[in-house]
Chains A and B, each alone.
Chain A
Amino acid sequence: MSNHVNESKTISLFIPCLVDQILPEIGFAMADVLRKLHYDVTYDARQTCCGQPAFNAGHRTEAMSVAKQFLATFSNADCIVSPSGSCSAMVRNYYPVLFAGDEKMMAQVHSVQERTFEFSEFISAENKVERIVGHADVSLSIHNSCHSMRELGIDEQIADILARIEGVKLFVPQVEHTCCGFGGLFSYKMPDIASAMAKSRLEAFTGADLDVLIVNDPGCIQHLRAEAPSAGFKGEILHLVEFLQKAMD
């Protein structure tokens, strides 16, 4: 599903709870990059979380109260852009599941859903990829998050954006994409499985001697950073927007 985008709009930052509390630099990097692409950026601090942690754990009653707060915050937003494929997918694909049967809420869901995007898909849908200009002499590879890839259908967008940065050498691993093992509360409930999954995932990159692994979801980033030392991955693990922020300076 690709959402339709109107011209000249203000962007409301959709800052995932993980970014808000643990990795705020990702939020600021995204705001910076968007401004460099000539967007007006606003932020409403009433937003806290989309409710995905509770929803994914099966606790839908609790998820609903959090999601209602999210919907209220963004009811008048022009365009809602987030640095997370997973949180965007929650709003786009799973709010309709969460609020199924509640007509009043569903009207709100549909309205917010249409205006919610993950960063790389937004830039691509807006045809702003060409406007990215930057430089970085690095070898890098991409870990596209599962939710970005399978829930939102984001595929080539990230590589297309990175291709705009001069000096980038992109490494494409031979093995197919697999999950890094984050999975939200999954990695806390089943930490040993999550670690084994991270190890398997990082194996695809360890041989390539990369400077940077680009990731487009804060959850994967937090998880992969924690697992990289034991998996023997030596490169830096950066969010796409963090990398762009530096490269576009």
Chain B
Amino acid sequence: MNTYAKFMREAKSMAGNEIHRAKIKKAITSYEIQVDGMKKQQFQDWNAAREVAAGIKNEVLANLPEMLQEFEEKLTSRGATVLWAENAEQARHYIEEIISRHNARKVVKSKSMTTEEIELNEYLESRGIENWESDLGELIVQLADEKPYHIVTPAMHKSKQEIARLFVEKLGIEYTENAEELTMAARAHLRRAFVTADIGITGANFIIAEEGAIVMTENEGNGRLGMACPKVHIAIAGIEKMLPRLADLSLFLPLLTTSGTGQQLTGYNSIVRGPKSAAEPDGPEEMIVILLDNGRSNIYAQDHFREVLRCIRCGACLNACPVFRSVGGHTYATTYQGPVGSIITPQLRGMAAWQHLAHACSLCGACTEVCPVGIDLHPLLLETRWQADKEHAASKKWQFAIKMWSKIIPSRKVIDTFRPLMKIFLPLAKPFLSANQKKRIPTMAKKSFAQMWENNESTR
């Protein structure tokens, strides 16, 4: 089944799933209250903060090649290694090479969408490497043999009861619906991983050019343990994660957490500038940062789309999106879901197979309204649709329909000729349509407004 057919099938099933809708509504409603409160508490002028953030990200985009070089120079000067991965395959190859060089058998991973993007879990599994997800949400989806549902909250779709049942089955605990007990069960399970893992693999929320540092923000402290305990730390980051200066974090950390989870700051924020130095008693002996392109320079090269690289992966547009709320994250079948995912996925993975995501949008603009770095998300979804049209990747059926429509609609005479036919045709089409299509086939008015106006008639 192709990606489009699969999407439509999943969307239909999820849209009719009342249990899912109620769960997501509950999760997102509490999120919205948190976020709205935090915006007011933490920012005197949220819109001004967004503008400044967008400005800093534009500075990054205007100087990205130079900043990446600066980042590499600074970081390598302290003994770390920087590797440039053009695509997912190359990134996986680098990681495999490091693993085999260290004869590693066990990897502990922090939450990282970039590793999802390169499908690292599947890859490590196929190579017989034991791989532990250390983020609670990621652990839950890993145990359930699923993909993350949401870029920030991977297990948003799981109720406490579902998690409890999963832990009983996979971690062998007694059934409990107490959140704290469940968390402690996961913690006990994970602590062993940290001390025995050979390699820690993390993502990075930001990378800092001027400082040659990576920044990780999280709530559990597991990511920090994962990059501090094992002898080798691999961090993988998309090239767009760049910030110019360390001082920019004073804006971007609260901006990210306010938008992402409605927190002032996350519980743990780590800035890492290299492997263990001679003066330090512990820490990883080797640190490797993999800078991932994987289609990002394709976006960078297009003036129209470049601004989407400002994205800091906060997830706000997913939460705001009524389509996301209706179909859920898994329906997108991509690493990055929701509005921003529907823009970047066709660019990263191919227009023909993924352009349908850009059409899974009512253009309501809620995403654009909440984006903390001011990305014009819904206009970019429109641009994506236009690009699909230009590249002949759009739906042939709809392209044809619109072409016909555009021949009829500009002329009043032609409309008047076709009108009686439409009145006959529309009801006839109904038996061939699904219930949800059928009910919105309109009933044409007896006469058009234009015809009635001309005859001095009225609808009253």
Residue of B nearest to A151 (CB): B365
| A196 CB contacts on chain B under 8 angstroms | 15-16, 21, 326-327
Cβ B410 vs Cβ A23 within 8 A: no
Interface residues of B in 156-194 (CB under 8 A from A): none
Mark interface residues in A40-68 (1 if CB within 8 Å of B CB, else 0). Answer: 00010110110001111111111101101
User: CB within 8 A of B398: which of A25, A48, A61, A185?
Assistant: A185
Q: Is B62 an interface residue (CB 8 A)?
A: no
Q: A146 vs B458: C-alpha distance in the bound complex, in angstroms?
A: 30
Cβ A54 vs Cβ B440 within 8 A: no
| A46 CB contacts on chain B under 8 angstroms | 412
Q: Is A190 an interface residue (CB 8 A)?
A: yes
Cβ A183 vs Cβ B439 within 8 A: no
Cβ A24 vs Cβ B326 within 8 A: no
**Does more than half of chain B's interface fall in helix, strand or loop, or is it mixed?**
helix
Q: A209 vs B15: C-alpha distance in the bound complex, in angstroms?
A: 25
Mark interface residues in B378-417 (1 if CB within 8 Å of A CB, else 0). Answer: 0100101111110000110011001101100111100100
Cβ A24 vs Cβ B452 within 8 A: yes
Cβ B394 vs Cβ A59 within 8 A: yes
Interface residues of A in 7-32 (CB under 8 A from B): 15, 17-25, 27-29, 32
Q: Is B196 an interface residue (CB 8 A)?
A: no
| B410 CB contacts on chain A under 8 angstroms | 48-49, 65-66, 68-69
Q: Is A157 an interface residue (CB 8 A)?
A: no
Q: Is A172 an interface residue (CB 8 A)?
A: no
| B452 CB contacts on chain A under 8 angstroms | 24, 28
Cβ A178 vs Cβ B366 within 8 A: yes
Closest Cβ–Cβ distance, residue B288 to chain A (whole Å): 42
User: CB within 8 A of A54: which of B362, B402, B411, B447?
Assistant: B402
Closest Cβ–Cβ distance, residue B304 to chain A (whole Å): 10
Cβ A59 vs Cβ B359 within 8 A: no
| A201 CB contacts on chain B under 8 angstroms | 322
Q: A197 vs B440: C-alpha distance in the bound complex, in angstroms?
A: 14
Closest Cβ–Cβ distance, residue A90 to chain B (whole Å): 11
Mark interface residues in B427-460 (1 if CB within 8 Å of A CB, else 0). Answer: 0000000101101101111011110111000111
Q: A159 vs B362: C-alpha distance in the bound complex, in angstroms?
A: 25
Whether A179 contacts B366 in the complex (CB less than 8 A), given A21-B448, A25-B459, A58-B385, comes out as yes
Partner-binding segment picked from A105-113, A127-135, A162-170, A221-229: A221-229
User: CB within 8 A of B440: which of A61, A193, A200, A226?
Assistant: A226
| A176 CB contacts on chain B under 8 angstroms | 32
User: CB within 8 A of B11: which of A17, A150, A192?
Assistant: A192
Mark interface residues in B235-279 (1 if CB within 8 Å of A CB, else 0). Answer: 000000000000000000000000000000000000000000000
Cβ A190 vs Cβ B11 within 8 A: yes
Cβ A21 vs Cβ B419 within 8 A: yes
Closest Cβ–Cβ distance, residue B307 to chain A (whole Å): 15
Whether A187 contacts B440 in the complex (CB less than 8 A), given A58-B382, A62-B402, comes out as yes
| B412 CB contacts on chain A under 8 angstroms | 45-46, 48
Cβ A59 vs Cβ B442 within 8 A: no
Cβ B415 vs Cβ A192 within 8 A: no
Mark interface residues in B89-118 (1 if CB within 8 Å of A CB, else 0). Answer: 000000000000000000000000000000
| A178 CB contacts on chain B under 8 angstroms | 322, 364, 366
Whether A193 contacts B365 in the complex (CB less than 8 A), given A43-B453, A48-B411, A187-B440, comes out as no
Whether A28 contacts B15 in the complex (CB less than 8 A), given A19-B449, A48-B411, A189-B359, comes out as no
Cβ A222 vs Cβ B405 within 8 A: no
Residue of B nearest to A150 (CB): B365
| A97 CB contacts on chain B under 8 angstroms | 379, 382
Cβ A45 vs Cβ B439 within 8 A: no
Cβ A23 vs Cβ B445 within 8 A: yes
Cβ B403 vs Cβ A62 within 8 A: yes
Q: Is A39 an interface residue (CB 8 A)?
A: no
Q: Is A182 an interface residue (CB 8 A)?
A: yes
Cβ A197 vs Cβ B322 within 8 A: yes
User: CB within 8 A of B388: which of A28, A58, A182?
Assistant: A58
Mark interface residues in B353-385 (1 if CB within 8 Å of A CB, else 0). Answer: 000001111111110110000000001001011
User: CB within 8 A of B444: which of A22, A62, A195?
Assistant: A22
| A245 CB contacts on chain B under 8 angstroms | 460
| A19 CB contacts on chain B under 8 angstroms | 449
Q: A46 vs B416: C-alpha distance in the bound complex, in angstroms?
A: 12
Cβ A28 vs Cβ B382 within 8 A: no
Q: Is A191 an interface residue (CB 8 A)?
A: yes
Residue of A nearest to B445 (CB): A24
Interface residues of A in 194-212 (CB under 8 A from B): 194-197, 200-201
Cβ A60 vs Cβ B386 within 8 A: yes
Q: Is A171 an interface residue (CB 8 A)?
A: no
Q: A230 vs B436: C-alpha distance in the bound complex, in angstroms?
A: 10
Cβ A197 vs Cβ B323 within 8 A: yes
| B40 CB contacts on chain A under 8 angstroms | none
Closest Cβ–Cβ distance, residue B425 to chain A (whole Å): 13
| B15 CB contacts on chain A under 8 angstroms | 192-193, 195-196
User: CB within 8 A of B322: which of A25, A43, A200?
Assistant: A200
Closest Cβ–Cβ distance, residue B361 to chain A (whole Å): 7
Cβ A194 vs Cβ B450 within 8 A: no
Residue of B nearest to A195 (CB): B436
| B78 CB contacts on chain A under 8 angstroms | none
Q: Is B6 an interface residue (CB 8 A)?
A: no
Closest Cβ–Cβ distance, residue A108 to chain B (whole Å): 16
Whether A21 contacts B445 in the complex (CB less than 8 A), given A53-B405, A58-B382, A195-B15, comes out as yes
Q: Which residues of A contact B (CB under 8 A)?
A: 15, 17-25, 27-29, 32, 43, 45-46, 48-49, 53-63, 65-66, 68-69, 94, 97, 146-147, 150-151, 175-176, 178-179, 181-197, 200-201, 222-223, 226-227, 230, 245
Name the 10 nearest CB pairs between A and B, nearest first: A183-B362, A58-B385, A179-B364, A62-B406, A196-B15, A146-B364, A24-B449, A150-B365, A191-B436, A25-B459
Q: Which residues of B contact A (CB under 8 A)?
A: 8, 11-12, 15-16, 21, 25, 29, 32, 322-323, 325-327, 358-366, 368-369, 379, 382, 384-389, 394-395, 398-399, 402-403, 405-406, 409-412, 415, 419, 422, 434, 436-437, 439-440, 442-445, 447-450, 452-454, 458-460
Known: A19-B449, A48-B410, A193-B15. 13 other contacts (CB 8 A): A18-B442, A20-B449, A21-B419, A27-B449, A58-B382, A59-B406, A175-B29, A179-B322, A182-B362, A186-B363, A192-B15, A196-B15, A197-B362
